[in-house]
Amino acid sequence: MIELVVEGGHQFGLVQGLREIWAFREVAWAFAERYVRLKYKQAGLGIAWAIIQPLSFLLIFVILFGRLAHISSGNTPYQAFALSALVPWTFLQTAVSMGSGALLMDGGLMRKVYFARECPVIGAVLATGLDFVIGLGLLLILGPFLGTRISWAMVYVLPLWIVMAVLGLGLALGFGALSVYYRDFRFVMPLFIQLWMFGSPVAYPLTTVPDKYRALYLIANPAAGILDGFRRIFALGQTPDLGLLAVSASATLVIAWAGYVLFRRMEPGFADSV
């Protein structure tokens, strides 16, 4: 029989924590299923929201940045240029905002049942993955009419998505843990996400950032390299720049690790604070 030993005032090591998450993977998956069902049950238009959101942003972008501000998108039509980054961006922002809110949303459960506390956050990020799949469908079906390309480069979508999901998860873990203790983060999150969008190459190309700052920019904002990768795939039909991607992936790992460490540090008190 397995014997569990809990040492008071002493927390799991980080690696042991990862093992714990793996042991509770089924629970994370159940949370994902739960969020997907809830999301589309509560909303009248259901699954259509996964399309409406990026499309309305696309409309605003095309009018605001394409027509009025004349942002250069090279040889690609601006709408294809914008949509190819909007779909992954929508995933990233939803993953971070839903993931960081999941702990508060299921706080009641945390006080009643034990599972690795990361499970609701992981579940929320996974659930958002479904939105991304629907967004990809949009890129494949509607995209060609707007000027996106379909090519072999699309095999890079999965690795790019994984990097993006890890980034979203790390941020969601960090912000989620903070928002359990400090309710101020309910107001911080939307603000942060909006600022982050304008700080990322969603509406404008990566080349807008001056060359001498670009390396710093890519390290500070790992989303930039990822979004640029998606844009290359869908708007240009090229493979992502692997050098950029390596920088983004490393920065992502650092951020995700920091978020996870923060989460672990704060985790023992969750059930008492929620």
**Residue 269 carries which side chain, given as an amino acid letter?**
G
Q: Within a 10 A sphere around the Cβ of 198, how many other Cβ atoms?
A: 9
Closest CA to 181 of 266, 256, 115, 268: 266
In the complex with other proteins, which residue's Cβ is closer, 25 or 67? 25
Encoding tokens for residue 151?
């090519």
Cα–Cα distance, 266 to 269 (Å, whole number): 6
Helix (H) or strand (E) holding 151: none
CB of 4 to other proteins, least distance (A): 5
Task: Output 19 or 67, the one with its CB closest to other proteins.
Answer: 19
Core vs surface per residue 141-158: b (16+ CB within 10 A) or e: eebeebbbbeeebbebbe
Residue with Cβ nearer other proteins (114 or 198): 114
Identify which of residues 10 and 212 has a Cβ nearer to other proteins in the complex.
10
Nearer to other proteins, 237 or 268 (CB): 268
Closest CA to 241 of 228, 257, 222, 252: 228
Report the C-alpha gap between 86 and 202 in whole angstroms: 6
Cβ atoms of residues 50 and 130 within 8 Å: yes
How many Å apart are CA 194 and CA 242, to the nearest integer? Answer: 27
**Structure token pair of residue 114:** 């034990």
Please report how close the Cβ of residue 38 comes to other proteins at its closest, in angstroms: 6
Q: How far is the CB of 104 from other proteins (least distance, A)?
A: 12
Task: Report how far residue 5's alpha carbon sits from residue 88's, in angstroms, rounded to the nearest whole number.
Answer: 43
Q: How far is the CB of 146 from other proteins (least distance, A)?
A: 35
Q: Of 102, 165, 104, 127, give the one whose Cα is nearest residue 35.
A: 127
Closer to other proteins by CB, 46 or 144: give it: 46
Nearer to other proteins, 32 or 251 (CB): 32
**Which residue ranges make up the site for other proteins (CB under 8 A)?**
1-9, 11, 26-27, 29-31, 33-34, 37-38, 41-42, 108-115, 119, 181-184, 268-269, 271-273
CB 93 → other proteins: shortest distance, Å?
23
Least distance to other proteins, CB of residue 1, Å:
5
**Closer residue to other proteins in complex, CB, 31/230:** 31
Closest CB 48 distance from other proteins, rounded Å: 18
Counting every residue written for the chain, the total comes to: 274
Whole-angstrom distance, CA of residue 110 vs CA of residue 118: 11
Q: How far is the CB of 111 from other proteins (least distance, A)?
A: 6
